[in-house]
Chain A
C-alpha cells in the first residue's frame, strides 16, 4: 500500500512565517521556505508517481506475483462412466483410489524419515532413495499408484512433509475373464486401450474440471475460491450383452475346449430381431483386473479379429443363390455318385457316397460334391454377389477396434476350381461374428442387420433376399438337426425346433493345410420364429473334430439355458415333451453313422 503525501506538512510549512521573527533574516527565511516546499513537493510527487506505477501501470504483474504465492489451480478428477449389461448389471466400474506422490527435494532434506516411509510403502529404503535422487530436479514423483484409500490414509498419517496423495480412479471388472474380450481394458491413466473401453472412450471418459483454491505454504487447501471449469463425469454405457447368457456361453465353451483339448474357440450369440450381441466369448481368456502379465494372444477377441474358413456353413448361401437363379427348385436333384468328383485336376470328396440328393439333402448331408455341382451351373458373379449381400468380405460395422473384414476374393479372380471350393466354404475367410450376422439375416426373413453392442441402438435392417427363399433355406437347415442330419442329436434343444449347419475345415498355416481342423456350428432357435442365432467355432480339437461333434453340443447347451433365461415359448406348446434326457448327449454309435460333414482341402 502506498502512503499519500501528508497534507499536514503543507499546513506546517504555511504556518512557519507567522511564527518567524520579523526583520531578522527575512529574505533568507523565505528562500528556505521555498526550498523546503520544493523538496516536499518533489518527494510527494515521487510518491505519487511510485504509487501510480505500482497500482496502475504494473498492477497485473504484481497481482499475478501475489496470487502465485497462495492461489492454485487444482484439477478435479472425474470418474469414468460405468458399463452395464442389458439388465443394468454393472460390468465395469471405476472406484476411487489414492496415489501417493512426493516432492523429492523436500523429502531428501529429511533423510532420517526415509526408512519409515519406505516401510509404509512396502519398498526397499535404498531403492526409494535412488528413485528420489533420480528425480531430484523435479517437484513431483509418484511413490505408489492406485492404493486402496485406507492404505493411503495410513501412509499420510505418518505426517512426513512433502508426501501427499492424489485421487485417481481405477477400473474394476466384476465379471473378470468372462467379459474380458468385449470390454477390453483401460490403462493406469484410465484411458481405454482395447475393446469397447477403447471404441467408446470419448463417451465414457468425461472431462476433468478445475477450481481455484487458496493454499498455505504446506500445500493444504485453506479455501476454495472459484470454479474455473465444471467437471463433466463420464457417461454410462448400457451394452446389449446379457451377463447370464454370456456366462453360460463362457462356461460351456471353456468346458468344451478342455474336453476336446482344443487350442482356442469362440462363441457368439445374436438376437435375430434386433442384431444385438447378447454374448460373445473366446478361449483362452485373461483377467482384466490384473494389469499386464497375460499372453498377448489371450487378449484377442477372436470372434471378431480372427478369421476362419467357414467350411460347409457357407452351403446355405450356395443354395440361396441356386434358388434365386431360378435354375434350381426344391424338387431338383443333383447326382453325387460316386462320392468323388473331378474339376480340372482337383478332386472333391464326400465322406460317404450320398447318391442322388435333392437340394435339402445337400444341406442335410453336407455334400461337397452337391454344392460344387450346383455352383457349376451358377455364374461366379451371382455367388459372389450373394456372399457380399450376406456381409462376407466386409467389416460388420460394429465399431469394435481391430475387427477383421474377412477375405472374399473378387469374382473375376475365380477359376472353376475356386468357384467350386468357395461353394462349400474354402478359399474365403470369415469372422465368427460375420457368420452369425449372415445366419441371423437368413433367420430374419432375409433382412440383414448390422450387429451392435449397444442396447436399443438405432439399427435399421434391409432386405437382401426374397423372404420366400430365406424361409425355404431355414426349413432345409432344420433337417440338419433332425434324424439323418449332421448335427443330430448333438444340437437338439429339448422342446425347441433348431435350424443350423455344421462346418469342418482344415486349418491352414502359412498357406499349407495341416492335419488340424476348425469345428464350426451355426444355428438358430426356435426355428419356427427365430429369436437367437449362435455360432460356435473351435480350433484344433483332438480326437473327434467334426463340427457336429465338437461345436454343436456347446450350441445346444447354451441355447437351452438362454431360451429359459429369456422366457422364449417353445415352438409348439401342445407337444411339450416332458420325458427323455434334458440335454441330449450324443451317442457314439449314432455319431459314427450320421457325421458326414466333409472336411476338404484346396489346392
Chain B
C-alpha cells in the first residue's frame, strides 16, 4: 500500500510538471501562430491595397474622355454611321 501511494504521488507530480510544460508550450505556439496570422493579414491587406491601386490606375486609363481623345485624335477612329451598320435580327 505504501509504495503504491508513493507511486501515485510521483505520477501526479510528473503529470503536473508535464501539464505545466504543456501550458508553456501551447502559449508559445499561440503567440507564434498569432504573429503568423498578423503577418498574413498584413500581407492580405497589402495585396488588397495594391489591387485597389491597380484598379484605380486602370480606371484612370480607361476614362471615357481619354479613350475618346485617343481614339478620335491619335488613332483617327469614328463611330460607324447607319450606312456602315448591319442589323442582325435575333
Interface: A226 (CB within 8 A): yes
Contact of A93 among B31, B34, B55, B62 (CB under 8 A): B55
Chain B residues with CB under 8 Å of A211's CB are: 38
Does A178 contact B65, Cβ atoms closer than 8 Å?
A: yes
Q: Binary interface profile of A, 83-107, with partner B (CB < 8 Å = 1, else 0)?
A: 0000001110111100000000000
A291→B31 CA distance, assembly (Å): 44
Interface: A570 (CB within 8 A): yes
Contact of B52 among A94, A578, A579 (CB under 8 A): A94
Q: Binary interface profile of A, 565-591, with partner B (CB < 8 Å = 1, else 0)?
A: 000011001001111101000000000
Chain A's nearest CB lies how many Å from the CB of B89? 5
A494→B81 CA distance, assembly (Å): 10
Chain B residues with CB under 8 Å of A178's CB are: 64-65
Interface: A224 (CB within 8 A): yes
Interface size on B, residues (CB 8 A): 27
Interface: A133 (CB within 8 A): no
A569→B48 CA distance, assembly (Å): 40
Chain B's nearest CB lies how many Å from the CB of A302? 21
Does B31 contact A223, Cβ atoms closer than 8 Å?
A: yes
A90→B58 CA distance, assembly (Å): 9
Chain A residues with CB under 8 Å of B53's CB are: 95
A582→B82 CA distance, assembly (Å): 7
Q: Which of B1-60 contact A (CB under 8 A)?
A: 31, 34-35, 37-38, 48-49, 52-53, 55-56, 58-60
Chain B residues with CB under 8 Å of A337's CB are: none
Chain A's nearest CB lies how many Å from the CB of B45? 8
Q: Which of A46-102 contact B (CB under 8 A)?
A: 79, 82, 89-91, 93-96
A223-B35, A569-B87 known; A577-B65 Cβ under 8 A? no
Does B59 contact A93, Cβ atoms closer than 8 Å?
A: yes
Q: Binary interface profile of A, 172-195, with partner B (CB < 8 Å = 1, else 0)?
A: 101110100000000000000000
Interface of A is mostly: mixed
Interface size on A, residues (CB 8 A): 38
Interface: A495 (CB within 8 A): yes
Chain A's nearest CB lies how many Å from the CB of B54? 10
Interface: B75 (CB within 8 A): no
Does A79 contact B52, Cβ atoms closer than 8 Å?
A: yes
Chain A residues with CB under 8 Å of B68's CB are: 251
Contact of B35 among A95, A224, A582 (CB under 8 A): A224
A175-B63, A178-B65, A223-B31 known; A569-B90 Cβ under 8 A? yes
A95-B56, A174-B56 known; A89-B62 Cβ under 8 A? yes
Interface: A513 (CB within 8 A): no
Q: In the A-B complex, list the 8 residue pairs whose CB atoms are closest, starting with the nearest.
A: A174-B59, A247-B64, A578-B83, A224-B38, A582-B81, A93-B56, A174-B60, A90-B59
- The chain B residues found within 8 Å of chain A, CB to CB, are 31, 34-35, 37-38, 48-49, 52-53, 55-56, 58-60, 62-65, 68, 79, 81-83, 85, 87, 89-90
Starting from the known contacts A82-B52, A224-B38, A573-B87, 14 additional A-B residue pairs (CB-CB under 8 Å) come to A89-B59, A93-B52, A93-B59, A174-B59, A223-B35, A224-B34, A226-B34, A227-B37, A248-B64, A494-B82, A564-B79, A573-B89, A576-B82, A578-B83
